[in-house]
Amino acid sequence: MRLASCVRHDVRLQWRAGFYAVYAVLVAVYVLVLGGLAPDLQRSATALMIYIDPSVLGFFFLGGLMLFERGDGALDALFVGPLRAGEYIAAKGISLTLLALLSSLALAIGAGVVPTSAPLMLTGVALTSLMITFFAVAIGSRLTTVNRYFFGGALLSLPLIAPIVEFVGLVSHPLLAWLPAAPGLALIDAGLGGAPLAPLEVLGAVVLLLAWTCAAFLLALRWFERFVIGGGR
């Protein structure tokens, strides 16, 4: 019940803060851009946009939201009650993932790239969004100013997005397949009719993403309890 209430609170807060309006504008812009591409590029470009925008931009939105809550003293009020740190972090992940899923579907349909396997695409978006949101909570727990968060967060998130360079054909290295973006992009691309994945490849991608997501959650929980609740250094 506490988690469900916290998710509802976060969705309302994100609506009032204009997250949904910003995403609607961004999706409309991306649809216009994708509509001007050659048909053979539209699918891969749509897959990349779905990964970068709904999945990754939540990282920056969450940073601003967390810094606002900390500066406003809202977090102190939250944890006076029975709400636990894990529930707060999970609610952030769930609420932003709901927004990412809606945006992803709107972007794919608006661009005319109807998913051949919506469950596959949405699984990639959901797990990637959760993972990146949890990493964002961890970083936001340690970096307490806007400049530090966006500069430090951009540097720390490079390993999370490095496989994008392989997806677009710039470089190729076996180690990139183990970084978080690789399975997320593979699931999204396959769901949009790109390179097909065998059942074992789908399972491997989901397991790897789940492992990264769990690691991100545990890191977020540890740093949040230490640096936000405990005021540690």
Q: Report the domain count for the chain.
A: 1
What's the mean pLDDT in 17-27? 87
Q: Is 206 exposed, middle or buried (0-12, 13-18, 19+ CB in 10 A)?
A: middle
Q: How far apart are CA 230 and CA 89, in angstroms?
A: 16
- Report which of 231, 54, 227 is spatially closest to residue 149, judged by C-alpha positions: 227
The residue segments making up the domain with residue 200 are 2-229
Which pLDDT value is given to residue 124? 94
What count of other Cβ atoms lies within 10 Å of the Cβ of residue 222? Answer: 13
Q: Is the pLDDT reported for residue 67 higher than 90?
A: no
Which pLDDT value is given to residue 90? 94
Specify the residue for token string 């530090």: 148
User: Of the spans 78-92, 168-182, 189-203, which averages the highest pLDDT?
Assistant: 189-203
150-169 pLDDT, tens digit per residue, is 777 777 677 777 777 777 77
84-113 pLDDT, tens digit per residue, is 889 989 999 999 999 999 999 999 999 888
Percentage of the chain beyond pLDDT 70 is: 88
105-134 pLDDT, tens digit per residue, is 999 999 888 899 999 999 999 999 999 889
Which pLDDT value is given to residue 51? 87
Q: How far apart are CA 88 and CA 93, in angstroms?
A: 9
In single-letter form, the type of residue at position 86 comes to G
Q: Is the pLDDT reported for residue 27 higher than 80?
A: yes
Give the rounded distance of the alpha carbon of 70 from its chain centre.
21
Which pLDDT value is given to residue 146? 74
The residues, any chain, with a CB within 8 Å of residue 17's CB and separated by 6 or more, are: 65
- What's the chain's average pLDDT? 84
Q: C-alpha distances in angstroms, 160 versus 115, 137, 164? A: 25, 15, 9
The residues, any chain, with a CB within 8 Å of residue 104's CB and separated by 6 or more, are: 50, 54, 55, 121, 122, 125, 188
Which pLDDT value is given to residue 127? 93
Which pLDDT value is given to residue 118? 92
Higher model confidence: residue 62 or residue 84?
A: 84
**Residue 2: φ, ψ to 5°:** -65, -40
| Sign of the four-CA dihedral 25, 139, 49, 209 | negative
